Amino acid sequence: MNLKEEERRARLLKMRAERLPDIKKQFEEAQKRNFNSNFAPGGKDAKLVAKPAKKTAAKATKAVKETAKSKAKSEAEARKVNLSVSTKKGEMVHHQRMLSQDVNAQATQHIIGIPVNKSRYNGYNGEQVTNAKIKSSRPDPDAVRIIPIGGLGEFGIGKNMTIIEYKSEMIVIDMGVLFAGDDYPGVNYMIPDIKYLEDNMQNVKAILFTHAHLDHIGACRHLLPKFNPLIPIYGTDFTIDMIKKQMSELEDVPELNYQVVQPLKHEKYQVSEHFSVEFIHTLHSIPGNTAIVVRTPNGLIYLSGDWRHEENPMGIQTDYERIDEIVKNEGIDLMLNESTNIDSPGRHPHSEFDVGDSLGKVMDHYANGRVIISCFSSQISRIELILKEAAARGRKVAFSGFSMINNVEVALRAKSIKVPKDTIMKMEDIIKLPDEKVCIVCTGSQGELNAVLNRMITGAHKFIKIKSTDTVVFSSNPIPGNEPHVVSTVDGLLREGAQVIQNGKTHLTNIGPLHLSGHAYYEDHVDFVTRLHPTNYLPYHGEFYMLQHNAEMAENVIGIPKDRILIADDGDIIEFTKDKKIKKSGRIHVGNKLYDDADQPVHEAVIKDRIHISREGIFIIVLTLNKKTGHLMKTPDIVSRAFIYLDNSEELIGKIRHYLRQKTDKSISTDPEMKVLKEEIKEDITHILFDATGHTPIVIPVINKV
């Protein structure tokens, strides 16, 4: 450990020791607080315990209704069939209720009404905000409003999108997607619901992009066409090219007003009467990455975007000079800082160059076979290093995977990558070379089922099948949630006899590191926030715990006062006032739009059905009745999907057919409305099925009258 490092550590430890009594006090304070239960009025679950509304209906109408009701009741009684089941109806209802709670919990993880937020940084001193409080908040007409509409406190990181608003001017920063994960069957990704922007379209003056990762530009295809095409869209050349590539997938590619920025020129763009913006070059894991400075009537806002600190970067160092200049001359009144790796202690222990060296070592050590390297397709620096290491060893490189080839093309055009002469070859040509001359760079490091790596295992890939002399490198870490998929891919590779080398498992092969995260670690945040010395602090780009830990760091280590730190949720309006304070003031409508892998929208109700069916199945009965007599004309058709296999269930099917015959016979005299009859059949069949199997599939009765 060098002296500088020791000094820094000592300083940190001292700071933390000094703040320890404060932290203890915070906990005591929290314990004394009057916790507003979710069931209290205004709480998240208040409606579940709400008292029934007062009876105001006139007695006469009531009486009429009562008679009608009792008539319907006695008719229903007449149609009743003995189900000969051993379970009580209550048991079935209980099962259905639990199931529906599970389905709702799974399907509405990303639905944002008033989120539960009792953090001490929630802007209401740890009290849960209520609808009434939100309604009574008086907006300050002279405040600058910061409104995150995606990317904060969600399950997974993504969907990043922020609005900055002043009077009738708005700027929009980033338009990301969030990949939905296994909880949302058949959903590929979700994008922010931009109703608020759609309602105020005429106020949007500029759209800015920090960088080209999909969690920042992935929703462009759906959202940009909704805006006036004359609105300027700012970003670096690599970012704009990646957006254009996205837009080119549309059937009607709109002509948009793209404005390429060069952050190192330190240009300020007056995008509206009151907003001026400046892009700052910062380091991340993609070319053309920036932070954004927004100068507003109430002060200067620094949006960090995604960033990491490197002592020895591959490209140009973060523009600390410009940042220091801004801090010194103007001061940062509000900092929005990303939170992704706030839980990773220390700082990056190595550089991208070390990753390159490790990949070279792999090529040396496994010199007799093909080397297949899988990494994120936007890791252009990593790809440059692979090309360099391969060229030095006389290996040719082929790229595989749609996004991989796309991104390399964009990088070549934007001059973001240096390519050694005669090193890149097409996949179809590379198979003509001897194995020891081959290096393949591909997608699939997250274990995606349809990505190249998995197709190479199963033999579904057009040119390559994994063989036992191959060495496969995972130059990446699994994104949380993807671990099981990665394991299954690794297992598949090992079964084919390949050598697999993963980042973080250096002890197995003595080769590593093989990956460098694109996001700053804890100590990097401490240093950077100290350097920027912001007056107000808003953690963003993170799940709730990340935001919380980021806020705690700001208060306990940096020393920013608690009332100048906010943990916001998507949809919160944060007012940045003339006297340079921040406070929450109301909410806007936010939410998600879900899309499948054909880019088609998926409704939330469809997701709920899919989850229900995936757990319990679906059961359809088709009855054909004589229009005149009401008698069953033929044996009812029964279809069971994802529930029970009918050929093995003769007894149950017999019981159901028997029930249906009785039920239709008994219904003839009362001739109930179709809707009522269907409902009764649905309920009875569900009960019979529950009694036999313990499950309540979706039951659909279809009645034809001929």
Which residues lie near Zn ion (CB under 5 A)? Answer: 213, 215, 306
Whose Cβ is closer to Zn ion: residue 438's or residue 520's?
A: 520
Neighbour-count burial of 657, counting CB atoms closer than 10 A to its CB (0-12 exposed, 13-18 middle, 19+ buried): middle
What is the DSSP annotation of 390-440?
HHHTT-EEEEESHHHHHHHHHHHHTT-----TT-B--HHHHTTS-GGGEEE
Query: CB-wise, 213 or 395, nearer to Zn ion?
Result: 213
Q: Rounded to an integer, what is the distance from CA 77 to the centroid of its chain?
A: 51
Of 215 and 278, nearer to Zn ion (C-beta) is 215
Q: Which residue from 152, 267, 285 is spatially nearest to 212, judged by alpha carbons? A: 285
Nearest approach, Cβ of residue 549 and Zn ion (Å): 17
Which residue, 157 or 373, is less far from Zn ion as judged by CB? Answer: 157
699 CB-contact burial (10 Å; exposed 0-12 / middle 13-18 / buried 19+):
buried
CB atoms within 10 A of CB 116: 16
In angstroms, give the least distance from the CB of 444 to Zn ion. Answer: 20
What is the spatial distance between Cα 527 and Cα 535, in angstroms, rounded to a whole number?
A: 16
- Bond into 513 cis (ω within 30): yes
Q: Minimum distance between the CB of residue 215 and Zn ion, rounded to whole angstroms?
A: 4
- Closer CB to Zn ion, residue 107 or residue 380? 380
Sign of CA dihedral 603, 604, 607, 609: negative
Q: How far is the CB of 37 from Zn ion (least distance, A)?
A: 35
Q: Which of 211, 181, 207 is nearest to 194 (CA)?
A: 207
Q: Considering the complex, what minimum distance in angstroms separates the CB of residue 148 from Zn ion? A: 13
* CB 174, min distance to Zn ion, A: 8
State the Cα–Cα distance between residues 191 and 198, nearest whole angstrom. Answer: 14
Q: Which C-beta is closer to Zn ion: that of 237 or that of 389?
A: 237
| Residue among 288 and 299 whose Cβ is closer to Zn ion | 288
CB of 519 to Zn ion, least distance (A): 8
Q: Least distance (Å) from Zn ion to the CB of residue 217?
A: 10
> Minimum distance from CB of 386 to Zn ion (Å)?
20
Sequence-ordered alpha helix ranges (H) in 496-646: 506-509, 522-532, 544-553, 604-616
Rounded least distance, CB 522 to Zn ion, Å: 18
Task: Choose between 478 and 636: whose C-beta lies nearer to Zn ion.
Answer: 478
Nearer to Zn ion, 161 or 194 (CB): 161
What is the C-alpha to C-alpha distance for residues 106 and 183, in angstroms, rounded to an integer?
A: 6
Joined together, the tokens standing for residue 139 give 């907006």
Question: Radius of gyration of the chain from Cα atoms?
Answer: 31
In the complex, the smallest distance separating the C-beta of residue 152 from Zn ion, rounded to whole angstroms, is 12
How distant, in Å, are the alpha carbons of 226, 381, 443, 530, 653 from that of 237? Answer: 23, 16, 24, 31, 65
Taking the C-alpha atoms of residue 471 and residue 463, their distance in angstroms, rounded to an integer, is 17
- For 657, the enclosing helix (H) or strand (E) is helix 650-667
Residue that has been written with the tokens 């922010």 in this structure:
192
Instruction: For tokens 């297992």, name the residue.
Output: 491
* Distance of alpha carbon 403 from alpha carbon 218, whole angstroms: 13
The smaller minimum CB distance to Zn ion, of residues 174 and 389, is found at 174
For residue 486, which of 530, 543, 443, 448 has the smallest C-alpha distance? 448
Q: Which one, 261 or 438, has the nearer CB to Zn ion?
A: 261
Q: Which is nearer to Zn ion, 215 or 319 (CB)?
A: 215
143's CB contacts (< 8 A; 6+ apart) are 166, 298, 575, 576, 577, 578, 585
Specify burial of residue 67 (Cβ count, 10 A radius: 0-12, 13-18, 19+): exposed
CB of 177 to Zn ion, least distance (A): 11
Rounded Cα gap, residues 369 and 367, in angstroms? 6
Q: Identify which of residues 306 and 555 has a Cβ nearer to Zn ion in the complex.
A: 306
